[in-house]
Chain A
Amino acid sequence: MIPPPFQYYAPTSMSEALSLLQQHGAESKLMAGGQSLIPLMKLRLASPNHLIDLQKVPGLTTLEERDGALVIGAMVREATLEHSPLVRQRYPGIVEASEVVADPVVRNFATLGGNLAHADPANDHPAMMLALRAQMVAIGPRGQRRISVDDFLVDTFETSLAPDEVLVEIHVPQPAPHSGSAYVKFERKVGDYAVAAVAAQVTMNGDVCAQAGLALTNVGPRSLRAGAAQQFLIGKRLDDQTIREAARLAGDAAEPTSDLRGPAEYKRAVVRALTARALRKAAQRATGGAN
């Protein structure tokens, strides 16, 4: 399969990339690793006339803790996240999401920014970013702005980025003491999208839960925040009964449809089981110390 023809640009500065976007507007597409976009172009599901490759734009590969956040450049590759000692130690949920994106060879090129900007409800990072309450930083002709991940994810393949904006950084709040995160995915085989997956984040205050983040992958038109389940956990000990009730509420928050990966009611049951697992893992990490 061969993509339809297009003009190719590899701008070497952000201002050049932005002016190309302005010039070509809806006819153009940004490309990060190309691991979602090139398959779509081969299938003629995307046919941009102008392809703007971001790989030579400087400043998009930051990976450091700064001003209370883990700052991840949009062009940071999955393989880099997976192997970063900082991310492994402090943000295990992000590593667990990276490790289940596609397969190790695809992850050598796929980027975090591409995974989020693609806004496929089957993509693994959006739910983890919802649970961690991340902020997206975008730049456009009107300057830079921050967007909460809840506002960023609009619908299937749709974000709140304007057509002339570029996602530049993802800011993940640094974990408070006694916090833990986890991502648990159920897939049919390596490299497949999730039947369902659950992202969890908890912060403990003594033996009660002070803050919780819970979000779901591939059981709705976009990655979903399980708001009622999060709320239910606050102020409670994370015992079996509490976790069972939170799992039930998370199942109710899912909006699955029946497809090749299973009937809707089955997926809802998978969400309940994975919610319990993700919460236990996150809580264990929170009470175990470091992360």
Chain B
Amino acid sequence: MTHVTLTINGEAHQAEVEPRLLLVHFIREVANLTGTHIGCDTTSCGACTVLINGTPAKSCTLLAVQVNGAEIQTVEGLEQNGQLHPIQQGFFEEHGLQCGFCTPGMMLVGKALLEQNPNPSEAEIRRAISGNLCRCTGYVNIVKAIDSAGKKMREPAATGAPTA
């Protein structure tokens, strides 16, 4: 057993775990945060995407010990003080989801993109989400949702939304 401490959405979670415990299982079963989904379990679909120190990663293909000490962000950490994050508002307003299974991963990839590149082109958005599969929407509204979130994040005062 190994001692692992992860800060998830600003809160420390510690546990004695087997080294073979995957990060996604730490998040879902140790920290009880089930917004991070398991789709393919083979690094293909991106439903399990979380941010590790701000960088998107597929949590079904990392060991919890491998990221010991890291800051993790999951979909549950997007909303702050009852206020939706602009990326969530974007998905809500642009109908960026149907069943919602891919949505946590899509939103986190979108957020990381906008933090690096506040005004991405459609091609850049499509490229950023190319490791995330959606079986419902056809992607058009996901692209619109990320674009619209970008606009909100560039004008934080206009919406009153937090920028990070």
Contact = CB atoms under 8 A, between A and B. Distances in A.
A104 B130 contact: yes
Contacts of B46: 103, 105
Interface string A56-76: 000000000000000000000
Interface in B83-110: 109
Interface string A1-14: 11111111010000
A57 to B, nearest CB: 14
B41 interface: yes
A280 to B, nearest CB: 24
Contacts of B65: 8, 10, 53
B79 to A, nearest CB: 23
A216 B120 CA distance: 34
| Interface of A (DSSP majority class) | loop
Contacts of B42: 1, 39, 42
Contact of B57 (A39, A51, A53, A105): A105
A53 B41 CA distance: 22
Nearest to A2: B20
Interface centre among A4, A8, A55 (most CB of B within 10 A): A8
B55 A34 contact: no
A6 B2 CA distance: 11
Contacts of B55: 79, 108
B20 A39 contact: no
Nearest to B55: A108
B56 A108 contact: yes
Contacts of A8: 2, 19, 63, 65
Nearest to A55: B66
Given A8-B19, A39-B61, A109-B62, A102 B41 contact: no
Contacts of A1: 41-42
B127 A104 contact: yes
Contacts of A7: 19
B131 A38 contact: no
Interface centre among A1, A4, A103 (most CB of B within 10 A): A103
B43 A35 contact: yes
A41 B132 CA distance: 22
A42 B41 contact: yes
A104 B66 CA distance: 20
Contacts of A3: 20, 22, 63
Contacts of B49: 105
B11 to A, nearest CB: 24
B18 interface: yes
A87 to B, nearest CB: 18
Contacts of A290: none
Contact of A190 (B57, B58, B109, B130): B130
B131 A104 contact: yes
Interface string B37-77: 00001111010010000011110011101100000000000
B128 interface: yes
Contact of B43 (A39, A53, A190): A39
B22 A2 contact: yes
Interface string B123-146: 000011011100000000000000
Given A7-B19, A105-B58, A108-B57, A38 B109 contact: no
Interface centre among A7, A34, A105, A191 (most CB of B within 10 A): A105
Contacts of B57: 105, 108-109
A173 B25 CA distance: 44
Q: Which 9 A/B pairs are nearest by Cβ-Cβ distance?
A: A103-B131, A8-B19, A105-B131, A190-B130, A3-B20, A105-B56, A38-B61, A108-B55, A8-B65
Interface of A: 1-8, 10, 31, 34-35, 38-39, 41-42, 51, 53, 55, 79, 102-106, 108-109, 190-191
